[in-house]
Copies of this chain bind each other. A is one copy, B any other.
Amino acid sequence: MNDRYEHWQAAERLALTLIQGGLQRMAARTLAVFLFTDQESVTAGEIAGQLEASAGSVSGAIKSLLTVGLIERLPSPGSRREHYRLRDDAWATLFTGQNTVIQAMLQAAAAGIATTDEGDPAHQRLTQMHAFYDFLLGEIPALLHRWHQQTG
């Protein structure tokens, strides 16, 4: 029950939380490695070893983390292995990813509104839904601005 074990434990717990937050299982575990490693950057092979997972599944996880912008590929200095690390604004990025969902909600609501008449209960409900997500979308830029100001 040394430090190394505690790290592993905390990392796996965080991975579970990330899964709850919507990430895929292996992507979440991979992200946990990026958080808990003592190195500045890690390679796919190191992650696979750490997680006792196949190179294939790690490859897929890295791909998805790159796509959503949580990690970045580093210019590899004379090495065959690709190095990756957590991006500085990873958490803000993860949060911003909700925008996509919100916009989809807005679109879905709008589509529903278009198929109903102005007196319908359904019309009213969909309008309320639209109003909320419209509000939410509008608030996000200012919120992120406040965050960047607080840190910067």
Residues of A within 8 A of B (CB): 3, 6-7, 10-11, 13-14, 17-18, 20-22, 34-40, 86, 88, 90-92, 95, 101, 104-105, 107-109, 111-112, 114-116, 120-122, 125-126, 128-129, 131-133, 135-136, 139, 143, 146-147, 150-151
Contacts and interface: CB of A to CB of B under 8 A. Distances in A.
Copies of the chain in the assembly: 2
Contacts of A14: 108-109, 111-112
A13 B91 contact: no
A11 B112 contact: yes
Contacts of A39: 121
13 contacts: A3-B115, A6-B115, A10-B108, A10-B112, A11-B112, A14-B112, A17-B101, A21-B105, A34-B125, A36-B116, A36-B122, A92-B132, A95-B132
Contacts of A147: 132, 135
A91 B35 contact: no
Nearest to A4: B115
Of A21, A37, A115, chain B has the most CB atoms within 10 Å of the CB of A115
A92 B128 CA distance: 11
A125 B31 CA distance: 12
A105 B107 CA distance: 29
Given A20-B104, A108-B10, A150 B129 contact: no
